[in-house]
């Protein structure tokens, strides 16, 4: 079963320097029907104005990853990590026992457009860690490339949870089918463009809860970039 949530139903936040769309309840946006799915707690789509950003703030016991769609995002944290994340890069931060970090748009002229996603970990009190990897378009073109997994399989980033995340690019005749293991849930977020999944049309910003499906076929993409989450079969995160 595919449960479609259109982009227009997401929560919003608008500041002079930030435009944000919230798939699940976050900040001032609260919807009792949208408090996460399986171990997914947050999917925020953010657009940050040039020279602005999120000041230093803390996190604890959360798996947080950023996926840049355009522009550049500068990261600094209390572990001494400093990096710039660009399209194709995936950054994973395990907050563990506690970490502070900032996210800033270093460009004097370009907006940075990115997704920030939180996954509830399966253990607490781990040592904080930072990972970053680049996945080029060729790896994702017409297929679903594993970018995050529990064991860091196939060059993916490691996450402290039984979750696997795939990224794909689809256009024109490109098509891929992904087999889900038995008794697994999944979630799809369409980052941009449009495509069909199992014959159902989805547009940029749309989300899809998936239960009781064994195969997912992605086709008829129009400039589509998509994230697929292979998740434990539970309805809400255990926070």
CA distances from 166 to 76, 119, 120, 185, 205 (A): 26, 14, 18, 14, 17
**Alpha carbon distance 172, 139 (integer Å):** 17
pLDDT of residue 54: 87
pLDDT of residue 151: 96
| Terminal C-alpha separation, the chain | 26
Of 92, 96, 13, the closest CA to residue 48 belongs to 13
Q: Is the pTM of this model over 0.95?
A: yes
Q: Where are the domains of the chain?
A: 2-231
Per residue of the chain (239 residues), what is the pLDDT tens digit?
899 999 999 999 999 999 999 999 999 999 999 999 999 999 999 999 999 988 889 999 999 999 999 999 998 888 888 889 999 999 999 999 999 989 999 999 999 999 999 999 999 999 999 999 999 999 999 999 999 999 999 999 999 999 999 999 999 999 999 999 889 999 999 999 999 999 999 999 999 999 999 999 999 999 999 999 999 999 999 87
Q: What architecture is the 2-231 domain classified under in CATH? A: Sandwich (2.60)
pLDDT of residue 77: 83
The edge-to-edge listing of strands for the beta sheet with 53-59 is 53-59, 99-104, 73-77, 82-85
pLDDT of residue 138: 96
């Amino acid at each position: 079963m595919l449960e479609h949530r259109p982009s227009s139903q997401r929560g919003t936040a608008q500041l002079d320097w930030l435009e944000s769309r919230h798939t699940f309840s976050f900040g001032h946006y609260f919807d009792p029907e949208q408090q996460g799915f399986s171990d997914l707690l947050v999917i925020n789509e953010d657009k940050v104005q040039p020279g602005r950003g999120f000041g230093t703030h803390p996190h604890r016991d959360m798996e947080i990853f950023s996926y840049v769609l355009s522009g550049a995002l500068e990261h600094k944290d209390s572990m001494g990590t400093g990096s710039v994340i660009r399209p194709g890069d995936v950054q994973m931060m395990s907050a563990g026992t506690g970490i502070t970090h900032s996210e800033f748009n270093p460009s004097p002229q370009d907006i940075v457009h990115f997704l920030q996603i939180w996954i509830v970990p399966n253990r607490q009190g781990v040592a904080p860690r930072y990972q970053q990897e680049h996945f080029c378009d060729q790896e994702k073109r017409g297929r679903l490339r594993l970018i995050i997994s529990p064991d860091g399989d196939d060059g993916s980033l490691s996450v402290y949870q039984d979750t696997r995340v795939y990224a794909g690019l689809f256009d024109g005749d490109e098509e891929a089918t992904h087999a889900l293991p038995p008794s697994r849930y999944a979630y799809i977020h369409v980052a941009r463009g449009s495509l069909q999944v199992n014959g159902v049309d989805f547009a940029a910003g749309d989300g899809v809860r998936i239960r009781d499906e064994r195969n997912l076929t992605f086709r008829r993409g129009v400039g589509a970039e998509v994230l697929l989450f292979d998740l434990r079969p539970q309805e809400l995160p255990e926070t």
